[in-house]
Structures are given as C-alpha cells and as structure tokens.
C-alpha cells in the first residue's frame, strides 16, 4: 500500500511503525474470507483490508476522520484470523492499536460509551469479577426494559454460570451442557479446556 506521510508525521515513532506495516499490505483480500464481521455484513469497511485503508487515513489525514470511521474500527473483534491468513505478514493488531489510540484523540466518545468501556476494563480482565457480572446479568434480565439500548441484548444472551465440584471453583463454566449439545465447554481465559458431561 502506498503511503504519503510527511517528514513531520514520520518523526512520530508510532506513525513510522505504522508506515512500515501499511507498506506490507498488497490488497490481496485473503483476510476478508476469514474476517467474521466482513463475512456477516459484506461491507468492505468491516474487513481488515477496509480497516487498513481507514487506519491509513486516520494517521495520514486526521482531518478527514469522522465518527463513522470509529464505528467501523470498533467493530473489529480482535480475533486475529486475518493475521494468520495474511501472506504478506501485515502486523494488523499492532496497526490497529496505533490507529485506535490516535482515533480516540480525534473523535471524542460519548460519556456513556466512556463509562461503559471503563467499567468493562475493570471487570473483564478479572475472572472473579467477570463471573459475578455474568451471574448478576441473569437477575438483570428482569429489568431489561429500563436499561440503555445495548445492555438488554447483553443480558438476554448472557450464559448461566455453574460450578463443578470436581474442579477448582475459580474456573467458571459458562453455560450448561444443553447450551453446547455436541461439546460443552469449560472456558478459562478464552480457551476451551474441558468438556462438560452431557445430561
């Protein structure tokens, strides 16, 4: 990918790193086949290739950035499927980190969004807090009608939390065996570790 950063812009070490990453992309499109958001939406802006174009604009021409840019960048799940598929070795996760940091300075987020992100940052990295919030979400389903528009969906699809007496109680089992008719999963730190017994 061609870039047109000025000498002043390249003096920023982050932009210099981003420039090296951007130049590796050859627009082959292999990444689009493995990107879950692109597969579902079919929107090029929701593909890694489209986001790379937008990230280049964020870094190269910040005055052209809008909230719509942030919307599509935020839809990246961070699953890294595109990284393993890319034949050119584009370091997409690092480029995304640089772009998001710059984007947060260019497009201020609404207060509610900032508060939600801060709350998630205080809960998700800690297994105990996360397990407690999943359990509370089951109670929260009763109050869906008074929640902001996006929270009712989170409560509706939150799994139940159960504990196995034969396993360390600090490991949460998300869902029941009926939720996973073929496999069932003990989930710890995002990895499937053990099958649940089928009932």
The whole-angstrom separation of Cα 189 and Cα 192 is 9
pLDDT per residue over 45-71, tens digit each?
A: 999 999 999 999 999 988 888 888 888
Q: What is the pLDDT of residue 169?
A: 42
CB 18 within 8 A of CB 95: yes
Q: Where are the domains of the chain?
A: 7-106, 111-194
CA pair distance 184, 97, nearest whole angstrom: 33
Place of tokens 């812009």: 9
CATH class in words for 7-106 = mainly alpha
Query: What is the overall mean pLDDT for the chain?
Result: 77
> Which pLDDT belongs to residue 106?
87
Spans in the chain with pLDDT lower than 50: 161-199
Looking at residue 150, its pLDDT comes to 63
Give residue 192's pLDDT.
Answer: 37
């Amino acid at each position: 990918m061609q870039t047109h950063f000025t000498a002043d812009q390249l003096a920023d070490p982050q932009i210099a790193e981003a420039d090296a990453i951007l130049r590796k992309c050859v627009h082959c499109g292999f990444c689009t086949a493995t990107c879950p958001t692109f597969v579902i939406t079919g929107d090029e802006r929701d593909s890694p290739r489209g986001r790379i174009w937008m990230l280049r604009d964020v870094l190269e021409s910040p005055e052209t950035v809008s909230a719509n840019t942030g919307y599509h960048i935020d839809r990246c799940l961070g699953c890294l499927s595109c990284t393993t598929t890319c034949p050119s070795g584009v370091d997409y996760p690092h480029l995304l980190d640089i772009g998001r940091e710059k984007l947060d300075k260019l497009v201020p987020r609404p207060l509610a969004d900032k508060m939600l992100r801060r709350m998630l940052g205080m809960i998700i990295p800690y297994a105990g807090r996360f397990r407690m919030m999943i359990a509370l979400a089951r109670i929260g389903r009763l109050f869906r009608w008074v929640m902001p528009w996006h929270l009712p969906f989170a409560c509706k699809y939150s799994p139940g939390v159960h504990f196995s007496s034969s396993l360390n109680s600090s490991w949460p089992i998300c869902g029941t065996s009926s939720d996973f008719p073929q496999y069932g999963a003990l989930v710890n730190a995002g990895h499937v570790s053990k099958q649940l017994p089928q009932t």
